[in-house]
Amino acid sequence: MRTPAAAVASFLLAGSLVLSGCSWTSGSDDQDATSAAPGHQAARTSTAWTPAARAKVAAGGTLRLAAAMLPTNFNLQHADAVNTDAARILAPTVGGAIRITQDGGWKVDPDYAELVRVTDTDPLTVKVVLNPRAVWQDGTPITSADMIAFWKAQNGSDDAYEVSSTAGYEDISAITKGKDKFTYAVTFKKRTAEWPLYVYPRLPASVSSKATSFNTAFRKRAIPANGPFVVRSIDARRGLIAQTPNPRWWGAKPKLRKITWNVATPMLQAKAFAADELDAVDLEAATYATVKDVGRVQRSPGLEWSQVTVNGGRGPLKDVNVRRAVARAIDRDAIATDAAKGLGARASTVGSLILMPGQRGYHDSSKSIAYDPKAAAALLAKAGWTKGAGGKVERDGKSLTLTMPVPRSTPTNSRRAATIARDLATIGVTLKLRQVPAARFFDPTVLSLDFDLVTFTRRGSAFPIGATEPLFYPIDSAQNFTGIGPARFGEGFDAALATLDDDARAEAIAKLDGQLLGEVPMIPLAVTPLVVAVQDDLVNYGAAQFEQPDWTRVGFTKKQ
């Protein structure tokens, strides 16, 4: 079972964001030394929250947040936790050996590990020295035994475990205990640049060692905490979760007295914020007007991005020149402008199928699909399609007509689809938009490849290579909706994943992007901005593309 996108989402969702990054070189990030510098926030283009040194944050207070719905399982590693708010809700209560930094890299988190280092590259071996003060919620130390049990639960060797993904863990050949119970070495069967995902236990051995506990014990209660907060109560009837400081937390004392999560629809969240019943809410175009004049609205580059998936396995789109013509006929700048204007944000197109704009190592590889209707028309002519009656292109007496399913009652998707249809009409291609029930959009419509073109949003990843590969390779991947999957795609992903040097890996990704966009299995469109409304005195929390909140620093400014 390899579903790396799900694994990454479960691992790195935090606060009001899904984190992204691509560099695996550890570094330092002294917030106290920089947060008070004049103009510092303006320089932190990927983090829009108001930074404050610990001394400037008041002790006490309740942070009132919201989520769309209660998860059906609070075990972040279980398949049922994928695409839920479980990781957002539990973010203040869990932690690990690494933290994603504001520039998209990572650093060792000293609260959890004293050392995380590659000690050999053939085979790839990572030494981990845990912080001996770190404990699970019941006071049990976090040790190598937890890592060994967690690996065995995650690696696919026992089908009884209903894991969200085996990716990465199935590539570990051994975990060897070191000089004491806080030291171990993780050895991989092959080199992977995304090794930081797989070297720290996310659950105690008492949970990982029993499939029944792993699968069912956390349907109504939270997994054991190892962070600065613990879940004190889950009220499913009222849709309310309460978190308080972890009495066994060994790190810096959290500033907040309490965190609450209220379950509500996006519109109800916006109205509650406007009524001073919530302290922060994520915004979308439909809710922006409700709160834009209340509190502060923060904007950062987002991680969701719109795209057009091209079914190259049937009909006219089997011809790569037709796929290229479709790509060059779409005005991606106009789509980006439309995506951003309703949120008062800056428009941004996406020029990669692997990395996000602003992500370390990002390179815009989209020159080959740049908007150019004349070039698009020439590509159609090269493929044997000529202008006929009414300006439509024809071949063998048939006009070029493509289909695009659109889920009902999705204004953003419908508006984007209509724009694409108008763009294709300018080069003589007819795009028929087919309304389908939202519940049947992915299954069976998209999953069965019952389309020529389809548009929806995808999400960036902090460790993007493994998460992206199944979208394009192999052709029979459950996540590959493109109808194609040549072997060179797989070779390109393998090469990028096996490259441990940051600069060399960025070059490998750019090369792979060029190969992908040359075949046009997917057309990247626009970034969806991340927009968060926060109360005026909330600091160290809000809109951020990469950076994870330090939950010991999140709080409210002191009264002057």
Angle at CA of residue 532, ends 528 and 538, nearest 5°: 155
pLDDT at 438: 92
Per the document, the length of the chain is 560
Number of continuous H segments (helices) and E segments (strands) in the chain: 16, 23
Strand (E) or helix (H) holding 374: helix 373-382
pLDDT at 5: 40
Q: How far apart are CA 7 and CA 169, in angstroms?
A: 11
Q: How far apart are CA 451 and CA 431, in angstroms?
A: 11
Is residue 527 within 8 A of residue 357, CB to CB? The reply is yes
Kindly list the structural domains of the chain, giving each domain's residue range(s) and its CATH number in brackets, ordered by start.
4-295+535-556 (3.40.190.10), 301-529 (3.10.105.10)
Burial class (CB in 10 A: 0-12, 13-18, 19+), 1: middle
Strands (E), 381-461: 386-387, 393-395, 398-399, 401-407, 430-436, 453-459
Tokens of 197: 């995902």
Strands (E), 59-182: 62-67, 98-100, 106-108, 113-121, 124-130, 172-177
Q: How far apart are CA 355 and CA 494, in angstroms?
A: 16
How much is the pTM? 0.87
pLDDT at 230: 98
pLDDT at 342: 86
pLDDT at 29: 32
pLDDT at 190: 94
pLDDT at 23: 27
- Tens of pLDDT, residue by residue over 460-508, are 888 999 989 999 999 999 899 999 999 999 999 999 999 999 999 999 9
Task: List per-residue pLDDT tens for the chain, 560 residues long.
Answer: 545 444 333 333 332 323 222 222 222 333 333 332 222 223 336 899 999 999 999 999 999 999 999 999 999 999 999 888 999 999 999 999 999 987 778 999 999 999 999 999 999 999 999 999 999 999 999 999 999 999 999 999 999 999 998 989 999 999 999 999 999 999 999 999 999 999 999 999 999 999 999 999 999 999 999 999 999 999 999 999 999 999 999 999 999 999 999 999 999 999 999 999 999 999 998 899 999 888 899 999 888 999 999 999 999 999 999 999 999 999 999 999 999 998 999 999 999 999 999 888 999 999 999 999 999 999 999 999 999 888 999 999 999 999 999 999 888 999 999 999 999 999 999 999 999 999 999 999 999 999 999 999 998 888 999 989 999 999 999 899 999 999 999 999 999 999 999 999 999 999 999 999 999 999 999 999 999 999 999 999 999 998 899 999 999 998 75
Residues 70-86: b if buried by 16+ CB within 10 A, e if exposed: bbebbbbbbbbbbebbb
The 453-459 sheet, strands edge to edge: 280-282, 522-534, 296-310, 453-459
Coil, helix or strand at residue 532 = strand
Helices 464-472 and 487-497: crossing angle in degrees, nearest 10, is: 180
